[in-house]
Structure 1
Amino acid sequence: MAASPENDVGETIPPLTAHAVSVSLPTWDSNVGYEEGRPDVVGRMKTGYPRFFVHKSIQRFAEAIAATYGHADDTAMLFPSPVIANRCLDWFRKQAPELFPSRVHAVDLVPNPEHKHSADHVLPKVSAVIFPKDQFKIAKAFWQHSGDGVSSRRAEYCHKAFEDGVLVEKSQAGQRRVKGPKRYQKRGSVDVKAPGANGQHTAPEREPDGQDPLRFVEERFGRNLDVGFADNAKLAIRRRIAGSLTANVGLEEALKLEADQERTRQVAGFSQDDVYLFPSGMSAIFNTHRCLMATLGQEKSVSYGFPYIDTLKILEKFGPGAVFYGFGSNEELDEFEKRLESGEKFLALFCEFPGNPLLKSPDLQRIRALADKYDFCVVVDETIGNFLNVHVLPYADVVVSSLTKIFSGDSNVMGGSAVLNPKGRHYEQLKKTLASEYEDNLWPEDAIFLERNSRDFVSRIDRINVNAEAICDVLMKHPKIKAVNYPKYSPTRANYDQCKRPHGGYGGLLSATFYSTDDAVKFFDNLDTAKGPSLGTNFTLSSPYVLLAHFTELEWAASYGVESNLVRFSVGLEDTEQLVATFNHALAAMGPVETQAGAQA
């Protein structure tokens, strides 16, 4: 990679993976080129991080829908339900009211009832928001912030059904427009409710010719999945997140375990029924915020600590706004407490544990005490720490996580979760809200991949913890590195240790800043790891994170101590000695360290 990185620009990470979550940007310059929109970079991209780059399968389906139901200069954004499409329409109305009602509208695509599907067993539905192409940025902002767009696997399947006349506009449902083979005229295994009353799976119904719609598409794309087990897979995922599965187990074993067996998440009354799945981690955050507002009213929230970019945007743009405490310091908590004492009301405090990319850990014990005294909710994003290393649920009302990251590890599927604390003050109210508003939009095929990928989650965490500490030790010794950010060596380590499990580690994410950007560029360009957005992969993944996340606001990020030459490392499962050698090679590429005498000369 280091020898000819230009050959890898735009390749999927992992390579040759149709639904890869990351994309190769192997040099410092290629990252800058991506942000600047240079054709030599953007034109070569086969994919990108799914919330920032609309997958090409989704693009093709969107263009087909727009060509059918829109104007010549229209395009579309695709969502898994009419409810979400309507939220996008509301967003459009606020951003560009002049486009209504003539130029922006939604189209709901539903299975044609001529296919004899019952009410409970239907082919998937897709809703499209159609708008002028020159307004793409507005739609893209909603797609990115909400995390509620369709997945690429969903788009592939639904596009095929659309082409064959199986998926039609709602007003056309009932008309005989079937073009496809007979296999499309029966219900698909995707929609069979797998778990029976006794917890055992129900065999999916098959077509007379031995095929169902989804199996036809799977074979068309070279897959070998039985999505009739999707509900079982989701149950196993929820049990893993609930902490019921403390060892590497397959699907069948996961389903046999008692629902209330001993868990790693020790909170009285907690069960897998308090775990909700979403199509992405950002969707879990976005919908948690919506749920809190629907339950408790329209009050400002607090974003505490330097956050992942879209979390802050959600709080600022979708609701009454946010107060931002970007340092995550004790002094900011003091200021926040004074505002509470003065009578100011807040909906919730959102924080990450630890934060990204500085890996600072908030004082959850103090935050919980303030929340109990002044009645606001606490939402903790545990993606970076992960629940095998830390136990944050006792301090939170809701714990959110991106399952796309280390829970999956394979970088080929998106997912997210929200976990309710049954001891939270507003637990019963939140459960009622979710009972009426929650939609399970995790595409069954994605659930199958997520369940398979997460079976060895437990053993992977241990190895990644060891590797990350080894790399941290190497980086901390080099005189050209200004600072290394890692929970173990952070000034906030006491806060992390407060939540650290007895056998937990300090996670697989760390970052480093350099005394000069020139050194950062030399180091990064000679670092022979995968390089691209995302984290939590089974392989080490490096990125000049601040350039990618904050390219248009570098000065703002720097004002919070997040410097533009920061390089972030998500450490993987490689052999430790080999990984150390890889980093030492990149460090050596920066050149010799000047002695004081040499500098004076």
Structure 2
Amino acid sequence: MTFENENDVEVGETLPPMTEHAVSVSLPTWKANVAYEEGEEWVLSKMKTGYPRFFIHKSIERFAVDIVEKFGKTGERAILFPSHATASRCLEFFNRQAPELNRQHVRILDLVPEAEKARSEELAIISPKISALLFPQENFSIAKAFWQHSGEGISSRRAEFCHNLFKEGILVDLATLSDSSRFCKGPRRYQKKISVDISNSVDKPNGTAETQDPTQFVEERFGRNLDLSLTANAKLAVRRRIAGSLTADVGLPEALTLEKDIERTRKVADFSDDDVYLYPCGMNAIFSTHRNALATKGQLKSIVYGFPYIDTLKVTEKFGPGCLFYGFGSSEELDDLEKRLESGERFLALFTEFPGNPLLRSPDLERIRSLADKYDFYVVIDETIGNFLNVNVLPYGDIIVSSLTKVFSGDSNVMGGSLVLSPKGKHYATLKRRWEQDYEDNHWAEDSIFLERNSRDFVSRIERTNANAETICNVLRTHPRVKQVNYPKYSDTKHFYDKCRTPNGGYGGLLSATFHTKEDAVVFFDNLDTVKGPSLGTNFTLSSPYVILAHYGELDWCASWGVDANLVRFSVGLEETSKLVKIFSHALEAISD
């Protein structure tokens, strides 16, 4: 059988190719993934981008360099944040990691629009401000660790927009301004009762509201005539989609006039989209959850249950008194936890994924909820992999987090995260008060417009990826050289998944496989004609030697938790099913030769 590769993307190219704000990057061979982790120049020199929390986008770095050139000292570097509060948290992290550095060495510079120079009607809505943390360049690893773990950093679109303001002299040092010159920033919250103007987004007589393409008007350089009045409406539409009350694939003006989708709204009494909060990325939602949990309960250890995404564990280890890690996600570990609780140990919160990444195992949420109610700890569930159309985990959690960067967006060109408070939880009133006091809306306006547009066909995409993933799973399971396929439908934890599965829900678009030998894994991966790189949930099938890429420095530790270094993870896309079958069958044939 002849087979032509259609997805040969050069190492270091953005995924999708030639996409300025892409959130994935091509690492097309096993060798390229290892070389990236080992810092080999033939890969690093070609990297046009990377996953945004691990790779500081070049537009962000250019802006940081210009800030240091104007305001910094010799030998300094800067890292950029969307607000003074977020930069202050990085400063606190610096103080803990390098207490020998004083305020002369590490300091915050706040850049805001000067009222006299700014076009205030436009900029009042978008609130373009930057807080830069300046520090000695030899301490960059501290700043980079905070950036990665917390997700607090700015987006590449914010950097690009604000950098142009900076070069035009509109964005200036806040400390140099008099009170009368200070620009009034936009609203802290985006509650619909104060900031959403549906009349601004309905069809105009000339049809301009519906015919103008957001992709076109958002991606132009500064000086463009942005329809920034769409920002608040876009955020509301996104929050309604996360709530499950907006599922129609329609334009923004019509979306905000539709009756709520009662069938898909999350099934918890008194739940509304006012309990949904947007964040710059999913990890920032997790970081904020942990930070606010500590603020309401005090310095208690957390529990991380099930093998987690890497930075969830790092957040609980580095930003508090530590955690109790149950990496298998087993019933025996819950037995151990129950014994500890019965003996008097107390915990802050239990963090878990539903299902887990990359083993796709599902935790026993019913038992976890019972323990939490009895022994008074928060339950935090990351539903990124399952997503709310497939599973309803809200009845079991106090806080539900998700990465909107993934399947909710699909287009791999914008970051976002969400957090949902459950009104059913006994801690709801405490948590709601805390979020109303602490929450900053730092999701950049242009990113929100893209996220809203990308997520309109969320429902139909989920149905397609569910079906495609099940088919690919069956192709892999029948091959003798495949050791194990990990997928919720075929896991020994399927009954826990099914307890939360919605009436029309499937088992998701993510699966992984291991092989009997490393050689087979490498040959299969290198012959698999999909694009290959970090992230998941893209509209195109995306493959990765996940453990190599996420845990290269701790492979033995992963193996101790049953996570094979030679695991290959597949995020299945929207391609024609028969085509995907041919692609995976061809790669399997390569290891049979």
TM-score interval, smaller chain: over 0.9
Q: Are residues 196 and 220 of structure 1, via their aligned partners in 2, closer, same or farther at CA, if it must alter by over 3 Å?
A: same
Q: In 2, Cα distance between the equivalents of 1:65 and 1:431? A: 37
Q: Which amino acid is the alignment partner of residue 42 of structure 2?
A: D
- Paired letter, 1:310: D
User: 2-side partners of 1:308 and 1:296: how far apart?
Assistant: 24
User: In the superposition, relative to structure 1, how do residues 412 and 120 fare at CA in structure 2: closer, same or farther (>3 Å)?
Assistant: closer
Give the Cα separation in 2 of the matches to 1:20 and 1:222.
23
Q: Deviations over 1:81-103 (max 9, x none)?
A: 00010000000011111121221
- What is the Cα deviation at residue 113 of structure 1? 2.6
Structure 2 residue 96 is matched with structure 1 residue 94: yes
Task: Give SS of 2:249's match.
Answer: coil
Aligned 1:165-564 pairs, distance under 5 A: 165-174=169-178, 200-201=197-198, 203=200, 218-220=219-221, 226-258=227-259, 263-564=264-565
Deviation at 1:193, TM superposition (A): 8.1
Decide whether aligned partners of structure 1 residues 568 and 260 sit closer, same or farther in structure 2, where only a CA change above 3 A counts: closer
Q: Relative to structure 2, which stretch is displaced further, 518-527 or 97-106?
A: 97-106
Partners of 2:117 and 2:103 in 1: how far apart?
A: 33
How do residues 112-127 of structure 1 correspond to structure 2 at under 5 angstroms?
112-115=114-117, 117=120, 123-127=127-131
How many Å separate the matches in 2 of 1:25 and 1:449? 26
Q: Structure 1: which 5+ runs fail to align?
A: 178-184, 205-214, 593-601
Distance 1:83 1:486, change over 3 A: same
Secondary structure at the aligned position of 1:365 is classed as helix
Aligned to 2:87: 85
Deviation sequence 1:175-210 (CA, Å, 0-9, x none): 999xxxxxxx99999999896769543649xxxxxx
**Residues 247 and 459 in structure 1, CA contact (< 8 A), matched pair in contact too:** no
Map of 2:45 onto structure 1: 43
CA-to-aligned-CA distance 1:361-381 (integer Å, 9 cap, x gap): 000001001111111110000
Taking a change above 3 Å as real, the CA distance of residues 567 and 575 of structure 1, as seen in their structure-2 partners, is same
Distance 1:442 1:107, change over 3 A: same
**Is the partner of 1:99 in helix, strand or coil?**
coil
AA aligned to 1:50 is P
> Which amino acid in structure 1 is aligned with residue 23 of structure 2?
V
Out of 62, 65, 70, the position equivalent to 2:64 is 62
Q: Give the conservation status (yes or no) of the 8 Å contact 1:189–1:227.
A: no
Aligned CA distance change for structure 1 residues 589 and 231 (closer, same or farther; 3 Å): same
Which residue matches 2:212? none
Amino acid at match of 1:29: K
Q: Do 2:30 and 2:526's aligned partners in 1 also have CA atoms closer than 8 Å?
A: yes
CA distance 1:496–1:303, change in 2 (3 Å): same
Q: Name the CA shift for 1:191/1:493 in 2 (closer, same or farther; >3 Å).
A: closer
Query: 2-side partners of 1:54 and 1:143: how far apart?
Result: 9
Corresponding residue SS for 2:139: helix
CA distance in 2, matches of 1:130, 1:186: 23
**Which stretch of structure 1 is more off in the superposition, 242-251 or 118-127?**
118-127
- Contact residue 196 and residue 236 of structure 2 kept, 8 A: no
SS of 1:483's partner is strand
Aligned match of 1:159 in 158, 163, 178? 163
Describe the shift of the 1:65–1:197 C-alpha distance in structure 2 as closer, same or farther (beyond 3 A): closer
Change over 3 Å in CA distance of 1:500–1:121 after alignment to 2: closer
CA distance in 1, matches of 2:376, 2:195: 40
Q: Deviations over 1:104-142 (max 9, x none)?
A: 111000111323748965741100001122211100000
Opposite residue 47 of structure 2, the aligned amino acid is: M
Query: Structure 1 pair 225/497, CA: closer, same or farther in 2 (3 Å)?
Result: farther
Does the 8 A contact of 1:2 with 1:525 survive in 2? no
CA distance 1:501–1:60, shift in 2 (3 Å): same
Q: Please give the alpha-carbon distance, in whole angstroms, between the structure 1 residues aligned to 2:571 and 2:7.
A: 19
CA distance in 1, matches of 2:14, 2:4: 17
- Deviation of residue 155 (structure 1)? 0.1
Cα pair distance change 1:13/1:7, threshold 3 Å: closer
Distance 2:166 2:455 in 1: 32
Aligned equivalent of 1:142, options 136, 141, 146: 146
Supply the distance in 1 between the matched residues of 2:6 and 2:489 (Cα, whole angstroms).
Answer: 35
Moved more, 67-76 or 567-576: 67-76
| Contact residue 112 and residue 172 of structure 2 kept, 8 A | yes
CA deviations on 1:553-580 (whole Å, 9 max, x unpaired) are: 0000011011110000000000000000
Distance 1:394 1:429 in 2: 17
- Report what 1:565 is aligned to: 566
Contact 2:124 2:184 in 1 (8 A): no
1:297 and 1:359 map into 2 onto residues whose CA distance is: 32
Identity over the aligned pairs, expressed in percent? Answer: 64
Per-residue CA shift, 1:361-409, capped at 9, x if unaligned? 0000010011111111100000000000000000000000000000000
Moved more, 75-84 or 100-109: 100-109
8 Å CA contact 1:526–1:589 kept in 2: the answer is: yes
CA distance in 1: counterparts of 2:367 and 2:191, whole angstroms: 44
Structure 2, unaligned stretches of length 5 or more? 202-215
Asked if 1 retains the 8 angstrom alpha-carbon contact of 2:112 and 2:183, the reply is no
Q: Post-superposition shift, 1:67?
A: 1.4
Secondary structure of the equivalent of 1:286?
A: helix
Name 1:210's counterpart in structure 2: none
Counterpart Cα distance in 2 of 1:115 and 1:258: 43
Q: Which amino acid aligns with 1:543?
A: S
Cα contact 1:301–1:350 (8 A) shared by 2: yes
Deviation track 1:298-328 (CA, whole Å, cap 9, x = no partner) reads 2111000000000000011111110000000
SS in 1 for 2:116: helix
Whole-angstrom CA distance in 2 between matches of 1:326 and 1:477 = 28
Q: Using the alignment, how far apart are the partners of 2:564 and 2:224 within structure 1?
A: 43
Q: Tell me what 2:591 maps to.
A: 590
- Inter-partner Cα distance in structure 1 for 2:345 and 2:260: 42
Q: Normalising by structure 2, what TM-score?
A: 0.92
Distance 2:154 2:54 in 1: 13
What is the deviation of 1:173? 2.2
How far apart, CA to CA, are the structure 1 residues paired with 2:225 and 2:546? Answer: 36
TM-score, normalized by length of structure 1? Answer: 0.91
- Report the 3-state secondary structure (helix = DSSP H, G, I; strand = E; otherwise coil) of the residue aligned with 2:34: helix
Contact kept? 2:362, 2:488, Cα under 8 Å: yes
Deviation at 1:72, TM superposition (A): 2.0
Q: How many residues align?
A: 576
The separation in 1 between residues aligned to 2:189 and 2:146, in whole angstroms, is 31
SS of 1:419 mapped into structure 2? strand
SS class of match (2:350): strand
Decide whether the 8 Å contact of 1:279 with 1:443 is kept in 2: yes
Query: Hey, what does 2:210 align to over in structure 1?
Result: none
* Distance change in 2, residues 1:6/1:575 (3 Å): closer
Q: CA deviation at 1:69?
A: 1.5
What amino acid is the match of 1:496?
Y
Quick one: distance in 2 between partners of 1:343 and 1:574? 53
